[in-house]
Each structure stands twice: as C-alpha cells, then as structure tokens.
A = this chain, B = another copy of it.
C-alpha cells in the first residue's frame, strides 16, 4: 500500500489517497482521537471521482462521531480496467430497461455476481492493510451500496460488526439466499420511488436477512434523494454497535 496524497480538510479530518496494488482508495481519519477510531467502509456504485462529493460528505459525518472511513474503487470502474463481460451485461440491462421489459435473473446475475466475486476480496484486503495503521481499529462497519457486496461482506468478513445497507441496485437470487446467513445488526435504507430498484425485491431482501437486529428506513424520493437526517440516523446506528 502506498499513500499518494494527503490533505487536511477544514474540519480537521485527514484525507489520504492511496493505492493498494492497482486499486485506488481514500482514507479519512478524524482530526483528533484519543482511542483507535472504529473504521467504516464506505460502499458506492463505482467511480470514485464522480462519487467523491458524496463520499467525502459521508466521511466527514463519520469523523464528526469519531469514526475513520475508507473506500476503494470497484473493479471495472473509474480508472480501473473495464471488464468486457460487465460492459455487455450493463448494455443488456439498459436495453431491457429502455424497452420497459422486466429485468430477468440472468442479466442481474451477469451484472452483479462477477462484481461481488471480485470486489469482496479486495475490500477484505483493504481491511488487512488499513486496520494495522495507527489511529484505526476494529470494530468495522460497512455503509452504502452495492448492497450485494455489503451482504457478501457481512457473511464472510468477521471483522465487520454492523452494516448500513442502501437498497438501491438489483440483487441476484444467490445473494437473497446468502442474506439468511447475515447475523450482524443491519440498518437498511430504501428509497421508496427508486428508479433503479425494485421495491418488492428490497422488501423481500429485508425480510430474508437472518439477523434479529435489523431496521428498515424507507423514505420518499428517488435513488439519490436520501434525506439528510438519515446521515445522523446512520451515525447513531454505528455508535450503538461499534462503540
């Protein structure tokens, strides 16, 4: 791992860009902390540059509560090499959506499963690298999309103690089944009128999660319309479970 840039934001948060092999990432740590800060992994749909304004806002919000935050680029997004199969699946999805046809399991599987297979080990490798850094420590939380990555991580990564998942993308049936094995506390955000998300699928997924400590927060509006107060609610969720 190599830090490639470092800047102190106006609220004292230290922002460091890094690369982990070929994978770019960003680490944010609170300006002042007496104990190691629990780390929250910030999930996103891919494209660190476009996502940066939303990610840094969430990271600052985390830091205000004493949490560190980190994110990495997804396979096939941003400056990382494209996957021909993923591009084809995305094009097929676009075609189906534009035709107003129902999105079949086969497209969802092709679109999401290879991404999960590749991304999850990368997030785990990032944890291996980030957790030994001074000022950062367990427990770890995961917050954001892609929800299928969050589900798989919650199942396979024992260092993750709580997850705040954004129900905002297609979920393969395999992942729906895996959800039954999730045993950690969850908070699930659902945008009721999400143009990219099947509401019933999201409710089925929420129902499927095996954990007894799960809360669904549904709000009005589209994919990017999550109300600001959900940021505070998310912090309180992590304070309950990571502190």
A contact residues vs B (CB 8 Å cutoff): 192, 203, 206-207, 212-221, 227, 229, 232-233, 236, 240
Contacts and interface: CB of A to CB of B under 8 A. Distances in A.
B220 A214 contact: yes
A212 B220 contact: yes
A240 B228 CA distance: 12
A209 to B, nearest CB: 9
Interface SS of chain A: mixed
A203 B200 CA distance: 10
A229 B240 contact: yes
B216 A218 contact: yes
Contact of A218 (B215, B219, B232, B236): B215
Contacts of A213: 220
Given A212-B220, A229-B240, A232-B236, 4 more contacts: A192-B216, A203-B203, A216-B217, A233-B233
Identical chains bound together, number: 2
Most B Cβ at <10 Å: residue of A213, A214, A220: A220
B229 A207 contact: no
Contacts of A236: 229, 232
Given A192-B207, A207-B192, A229-B236, A215 B217 contact: yes
Contacts of A203: 203
A210 to B, nearest CB: 11
A103 B76 CA distance: 52
A127 to B, nearest CB: 27
Contact of A206 (B206, B214, B218): B218
A144 B236 CA distance: 23
Pick the 8 closest A-B CB pairs, nearest first.
A216-B218, A215-B219, A212-B220, A217-B217, A214-B220, A215-B217, A229-B240, A215-B218
A208 to B, nearest CB: 12
Nearest to A221: B212
